[in-house]
């Protein structure tokens, strides 16, 4: 029986001219990136032999050639498959069919799997999670007064976290537990925000105290879900991080009386400025074992015991989930703060949203895995979309449409170009410099938006007088 590795790896057997290799290959890497490593284990002189016959290629047992620019999962390679490392120019005729129906079925299978139990399960989890989230709409539309809807929402959040924990721990289905406990974070945030609201308060009148209580409830539910469910920790870590950022904003508003735009600017700047520290923080939280650099000669000769491989893999998985959750929190916080700032008419607010969105887009390229890059890209795109929507509503249609066409065409052209070949090192270096400049410029713009420069100027003026 074949068992999935569960960490984005495909456990396959590679048959080479000299030996057979049992190896676990990353499913998200292109085949061309995997070939050099395979050639190192294919036998002595395998790489040099490839120069005489046009290079090596990977084929499936049916003779299908694996494209070098695509990954394994996208070409249907699964755990237990046997791949053949053969000369690229070798003649490998495809299977001949004497039954047209069988040929049609074989061709159809190349375009994806048929609907099965796994697809039914995923669909049920997705629809069920969406249905649970729709209940929050009913909670927010039930008031004022808010006492009953707020405490009911907190009760539902607690119930979902408990049920998710039971599914994960007692039933052994951690994924279903995460799908049930995840919506509990939203219920907790909504319930905490409205439970302490006065009877006649509308949703638009909620203030700093409600933000603070809702954020505390969100962070608490995230901690309970992370400790109880034990799977898809990114969701619960994201809830905890988002709640902590909300707590910072609520405390600042209560202590300083600053405007909503000023609070949003500070929270947005804080969340994005800490992006370089998130990988190190995730390593600490995930308890990733790190080698100790030797300081003396005897330390270099000392043979210290190394952790078990399973322990290292578990620590890597924890750190990866924590990092992904932190990036999710940055994306959600960035969109929420961008929504507040884009609603103002101040030029500094618009500039801050544009700079923050561009910083998210540029920083996203440094994270190689899609689950970590997509949140940052989504946050940056949504932030720019908020700005463009405001401009489009104020611009004539003859200006808005050409701008949209130019931006869309530029993005499509760049995507198609760089999907075939990577950008030059000069472009990458320019992006690095621009990334640093954007991160550094966030704080001065936020200070301008909050009126900090005027406060300092008035302070020095009073001292001088």
Rounded Cα–Cα distance for residues 20 and 61 (Å):
14
**What confidence score (pLDDT) does residue 94 get?**
58
Q: What is the largest CA-CA distance in the chain?
A: 100
Query: Coil, helix or strand for 231?
Result: coil
Rounded Cα–Cα distance for residues 240 and 227 (Å):
12
**What confidence score (pLDDT) does residue 404 get?**
84
pTM of the model: 0.75
Rounded Cα–Cα distance for residues 289 and 303 (Å):
16
Domain residue limits, the chain: 9-87, 123-290+309-400
**What confidence score (pLDDT) does residue 223 get?**
93
Instruction: Describe the crossing of helices 233-256 and 260-273 by its angle, rounded to 10 degrees.
Output: 140
Angle at CA 24, nearest 5°, toward 92 and 325?
Answer: 125
Instruction: Give the list of residues 6+ apart from residue 24 with CB closer than 8 angstroms, or none.
Output: 5, 9, 10, 11, 12
Query: Coil, helix or strand for 210?
Result: helix
CB 185 within 8 A of CB 235: yes
CB 184 within 8 A of CB 228: no
pLDDT tens for 366-419 read 888 888 899 999 999 999 998 888 888 777 777 878 888 888 888 888 888 887
| Low-confidence spans in the chain with pLDDT less than 70 | 1-8, 43-54, 89-114, 298-301, 464-465
Rounded Cα–Cα distance for residues 202 and 222 (Å):
27
Residue 358, token pair as written in the block: 């561009």
Q: Is the dihedral of CA 267, 273, 276, 281 positive or negative?
A: negative
**Any idea which fold 9-87 has?**
Ubiquitin-like (UB roll) (3.10.20)
Angle at CA 149, nearest 5°, toward 146 and 154?
Answer: 115
Which secondary structure element, helix H or strand E, spans residue 25, and what is its range? strand 20-26
**What confidence score (pLDDT) does residue 3 get?**
38
Report in angstroms the alpha-carbon separations of 316 from 221, 228, 233, 290, 460.
24, 20, 13, 11, 51
- Of 292, 363, 284, 291, the closest CA to residue 318 belongs to 284
Residue 146, token pair as written in the block: 């808010």
**What confidence score (pLDDT) does residue 309 get?**
79
**What confidence score (pLDDT) does residue 110 get?**
62
CB 351 within 8 A of CB 438: no
Query: Coil, helix or strand for 85?
Result: strand
**What confidence score (pLDDT) does residue 396 get?**
79
Rounded Cα–Cα distance for residues 449 and 264 (Å):
10
**What confidence score (pLDDT) does residue 187 get?**
93
CB 329 within 8 A of CB 271: yes
Query: Dihedrals φ, ψ of 52, to 5°?
Result: -85, -25
């Amino acid at each position: 029986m074949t068992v999935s590795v569960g960490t984005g790896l495909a456990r396959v057997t590679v048959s080479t001219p000299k030996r057979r290799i049992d190896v676990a290959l990353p499913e998200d890497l292109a085949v061309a990136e995997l070939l050099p490593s395979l050639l190192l284990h294919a036998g002595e002189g395998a790489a040099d032999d490839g120069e005489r016959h046009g290079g090596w290629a990977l084929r499936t047992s049916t003779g299908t050639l694996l494209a070098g620019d695509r990954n394994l999962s996208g070409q249907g390679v699964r755990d237990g498959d046997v791949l053949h490392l053969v000369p690229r120019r070798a003649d490998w005729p495809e299977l001949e069919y004497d039954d047209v129906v069988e040929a049609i079925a074989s061709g159809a299978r190349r375009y994806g799997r048929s609907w099965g139990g796994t697809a039914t399960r995923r669909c049920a989890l997705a629809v069920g999670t969406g249905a649970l989230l729709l209940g929050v709409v009913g909670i927010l539309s039930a008031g004022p007064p808010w006492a009953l809807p707020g405490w009911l929402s907190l009760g539902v959040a607690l119930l979902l976290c408990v049920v998710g924990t039971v599914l994960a721990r007692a039933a052994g289905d951690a994924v279903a537990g995460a799908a049930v406990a995840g919506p509990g974070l939203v219920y907790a945030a909504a319930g905490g925000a409205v439970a302490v609201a006065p009877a006649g308060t509308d949703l638009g009148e909620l203030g700093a105290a409600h933000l603070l209580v809702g954020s505390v409830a969100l962070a608490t539910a995230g901690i309970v879900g992370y400790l109880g469910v034990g799977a898809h920790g990114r969701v619960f870590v994201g809830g905890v991080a988002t709640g902590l950022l909300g707590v910072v904003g609520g405390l600042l508003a209560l202590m300083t009386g600053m405007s909503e735009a000023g609070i949003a600017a500070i929270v947005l700047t804080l969340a994005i400025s800490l992006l370089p520290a998130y990988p190190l923080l995730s390593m600490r939280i995930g308890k990733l074992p790190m080698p100790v650099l030797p300081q003396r000669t005897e330390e270099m000769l000392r043979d210290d015991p190394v952790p078990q491989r399973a322990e290292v893999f578990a620590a890597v998985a924890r750190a990866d989930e924590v990092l992904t959750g932190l990036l999710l929190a940055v994306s959600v916080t960035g969109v929420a703060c961008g929504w507040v700032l884009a609603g103002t008419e101040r030029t500094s607010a618009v500039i801050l949203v544009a700079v923050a969105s561009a910083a998210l887009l540029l920083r996203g390229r440094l994270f190689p895995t899609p689950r970590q890059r997509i949140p940052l890209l989504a946050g940056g795109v949504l932030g720019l979309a908020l700005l463009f929507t405001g401009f489009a509503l104020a611009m004539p249609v003859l200006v808005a449409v050409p701008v949209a066409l130019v931006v869309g065409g530029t993005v499509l052209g760049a995507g198609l170009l760089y999907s075939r070949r990577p950008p030059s090192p000069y472009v990458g270096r320019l992006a690095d410099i621009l990334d640093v400049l954007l991160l550094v410029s966030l704080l001065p713009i936020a200070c301008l938006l909050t009126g900090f420069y005027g406060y300092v100027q008035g302070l020095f003026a009073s001292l001088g007088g």
